[in-house]
Structure 1
């Protein structure tokens, strides 16, 4: 376990768990939590033992968004608030290792943004979990997180979510909002079981191949990291780059060999080498 203040970072069985840890404030994102989230995801990426990351919250809430009291009370002319927020959300969204959102409680505002930054999103139907973008009620706009929500929900549903400030239950999100959740489970016990099931699946896959998949989907889906555009990263060129590297990949050669031999691959040798940054 590493020393943080506003989050808890722990690694067990090749999985890093990042827990938002301001339960007395509904796990609202303080400037310190923002910086610690970036640091924690950088730590997970740099650790060759870590295969996937689980993001969750302490207490009753997953995350209630930005802590407006703290955000407004610590003006820093050297910090661009948009850039700082983008770096935090991008650290989650573009982590080269798979990220699972274990939504243990309500997600509001930026908390919804964090959910949409995850690759796998799991939530229980029976524990009062809901999702809400309440910014317009306060004269605010969910500007930064729109970058992560609109591509997955689509323009019409995104407008509905952002304009009405309505609560979306887990059942509604799963049954009537395509692109919102991976799975809605019965309760918290089932939530932990689902997290364990997905981490088991992810740990059985080739690490660099998964990183390339994430990068390729980001390019094809228009969800590139801040600072990159379709002009600087051509979608077809990205396909060619990944395919060419795959043909020369030791991972692919090993994986195909194990498939032909009817054995389940053991990717531990590839994991301990670390995960280079995907270049498309």
Structure 2
């Protein structure tokens, strides 16, 4: 179905693997489109309770494939046509998305990781806002998410200096949810994803919707949207299960509905 990525649904987890290992999983336009399509597939599939984005081989994603760049290119149009739609698809996907950063995440690869809900890193992985080294600005939503996570001053430092951020530094900065050894990385990512997939999926989607609303709505309007979301959550089977499990003094078994 896809040429630049792999897509597999396994035990409630949709695994989306960037699959250009010989190019360190660098972006080409087709990859942008295929990521967007895979996210839509997972969003529509009730069996997909969680999405994991990772890279094949030794890199997560090295950013734009520079062999496709020439001096006649309109970089703004490339963002409008390819990167912007991909990042918007991530933002509007209401299922939890985990970036499993197995190796270097540079440039737009860093942006991809930032746009996800969780960032799990291998100890050998790293980030770098590499745009400055080719005379460009961080794009694909990079500064939007980076400034939210680390603040404007640190975001400026990371973007203008363009220095490598190790996994340990990322954890300290709040750019990594957890860091695992390379030997345990795949197993730990799978365990984390299974834990997220076992949670009430609809409630997670409504939480993500609320976090987006916080950024755009006046507070009074946000409270109205919050009440509507809570009404929806209160009608789910998972809410009923949560209440019954509490009364029965047992662990709930959520089904994502």
TM-score (norm 1): 0.83
- Quick check: 102-111 or 129-138, which moved more? 129-138
- Quick check: 257-266 or 166-175, which moved more? 257-266
Corresponding residue for residue 252 of structure 2: 265
Aligned CA RMSD, in angstroms, stands at: 2.3
Shift of 1:71: 5.1
In the alignment, does 2:27 pair up with 1:5? no
Give secondary structure in 1 for the equivalent of 2:36. helix
CA contact (8 A) 1:31 1:71 kept: no
Corresponding residue for residue 16 of structure 2: 18
Give secondary structure in 2 for the equivalent of 1:65. coil
CA contact (8 A) 1:30 1:71 kept: no
Q: 2:194 aligns with which of 192, 195, 200?
A: 200
In the alignment, does 2:98 pair up with 1:103? no
- Quick check: 191-200 or 42-51, which moved more? 191-200
Shift of 1:80: 5.9
Shift of 1:172: 1.1
C-alpha separation between the residues in 1 aligned to 2:217 and 2:133?
34
Equivalent pairs counted in the alignment come to 254
C-alpha separation between the residues in 2 aligned to 1:266 and 1:249?
13
Matches within 5 A, 1:11-90: 11-70=9-68, 72=70, 81-90=79-88
In the alignment, does 2:221 pair up with 1:252? no
CA contact (8 A) 1:23 1:59 kept: yes
Structure 1: runs of 5 or more not aligned: 223-228, 272-280
Corresponding residue for residue 117 of structure 2: 119
In the alignment, does 2:152 pair up with 1:152? no
User: Cα deviation per residue 1:160-191 (whole Å; 9 max; x = unaligned)?
Assistant: 1100011111111112x1x3110112x22322
CA contact (8 A) 1:62 1:105 kept: yes
CA contact (8 A) 2:100 2:119 kept: yes
- Quick check: 129-138 or 100-109, which moved more? 129-138
Corresponding residue for residue 133 of structure 1: 129
Shift of 1:67: 1.8
User: Cα deviation per residue 1:38-92 (whole Å; 9 max; x = unaligned)?
Assistant: 000001111111110111001111001122332559979xx66325312101222
Structure 2: runs of 5 or more not aligned: none
Q: 1:166 aligns with which of 163, 168, 172?
A: 163
C-alpha separation between the residues in 2 aligned to 1:4 and 1:246?
35
